[in-house]
């Protein structure tokens, strides 16, 4: 069973529908007790960093999530803001992240006359940097839908599975042990997103 964490900050219907479309058993969970029963976890998210972390902590989910991932070694997939919250801190806010990977979140910075605007919205190709189970059989021309103003910077380049380009390379897919993250929205990325979520379900 894949448990999608509902902490009150986003509409989760499209993520549930896509997981079920690829044949996965999926459910929403919003309590510590439900988190304890999860076989795999998905941490989605949209909006501001502090709002997301604050909502997790208010519900008592942050510590429970860390325990399930670090001690019980349950696979976790962070999506968009969910991926950013895996790190230690963010330029967007003052609260500490989950600290599941050694990384920090930075805002895109471009010259005033740059063609690149913030937020970054649209479809981008991935550039694979190393092999990993999330990217199995995706192919060289896989495209995903992004919508974000901030991006994660990993201290260890070995955690980076794939990058995308928006005025420079940024981390698009990461893996550190049983912790996975994607900056894009697989639930909005059609057949490529379906393939990636199927790979996660098959871990």
Annotated catalytic residue 137: no
Annotated catalytic residue 185: yes
Choose, from 10, 92, 187, 198, the residue flagged as catalytic. 187
What pLDDT was estimated at residue 140?
77
- State the average pLDDT over residues 111-131: 94
Please report, for the chain, the start and end positions of each structural domain, with discontinuous segments joined by +: 2-201
Annotated catalytic residue 154: no
Flag whether pLDDT at 10 surpasses 90.
no
* pLDDT tens digits, 128-162: 999 999 999 887 789 999 999 999 999 999 999 99
What pLDDT was estimated at residue 75?
98
Choose, from 148, 151, 176, 185, the residue flagged as catalytic. 185
**Residue 102 and residue 154 in contact, taking contact as beta carbons nearer than 8 Å:** yes
- State the average pLDDT over residues 41-45: 95
Quote the mean pLDDT of the chain: 95
Q: What tokens does 64 get? A: 């429970």
Flag whether pLDDT at 26 surpasses 90.
yes
Q: 3-state secondary structure string, the chain?
A: CEEEECCCCCCCHHHHHHHHHCCCCEEEECCHHHHHCCCEEEECCCCCHHHHHHHHHHCCHHHHHHHHHHHCCCCEEEECHHHHCCCCEECCCCCCCCCCCCEEEEECCCCCCCCCCCCEEEEEECEECCCCHHHCCCCCCCEEEEEECEEEEECCHHHEEEEEECCCEEEEEEEECCEEEECCCHHHCHHHHHHHHHHHHCC
Given pLDDT bands bounded at 50, 70 and 90, which one contains residue 36?
Answer: very high
What pLDDT was estimated at residue 11?
77
Please state, for a pLDDT cut of 70, what percent of the chain lies above it. 100
Peptide bond into 155 cis (omega under 30): no
- Residue whose pair of structure tokens reads 């900050």 in the numeric block: 9
Given pLDDT bands bounded at 50, 70 and 90, which one contains residue 103?
Answer: very high
CATH of domain 2-201: 3.40.50.880
What pLDDT was estimated at residue 139?
78
Choose, from 10, 80, 151, 154, the residue flagged as catalytic. 80
């Amino acid at each position: 069973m894949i448990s999608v964490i509902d902490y009150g900050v986003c509409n989760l219907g499209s993520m549930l529908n896509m997981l079920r479309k690829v044949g996965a058993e999926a459910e929403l969970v919003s309590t510590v007790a439900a988190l304890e029963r999860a076989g795999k976890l998905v941490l989605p998210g949209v909006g501001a960093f502090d709002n997301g972390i604050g909502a997790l902590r208010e519900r008592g989910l942050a510590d429970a999530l860390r325990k399930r991932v670090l001690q019980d070694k349950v696979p976790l997939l962070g999506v968009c803001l969910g991926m950013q919250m895996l790190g230690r801190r963010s330029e967007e806010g003052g609260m500490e992240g989950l600290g599941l990977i050694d990384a920090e979140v930075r805002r895109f910075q471009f010259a005033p006359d740059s063609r690149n605007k913030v937020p970054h919205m649209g479809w981008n190709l991935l550039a694979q940097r190393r092999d990993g189970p999330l990217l199995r059989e995706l192919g060289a021309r896989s495209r995903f839908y992004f919508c974000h103003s901030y991006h994660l910077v990993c201290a260890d380049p070995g955690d980076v599975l794939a990058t995308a380009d928006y005025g420079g390379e940024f981390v698009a897919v990461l893996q550190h042990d049983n912790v996975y993250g994607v900056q894009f929205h697989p639930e909005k990325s059609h057949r490529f997103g379906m393939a990636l979520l199927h790979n996660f379900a098959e871990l």
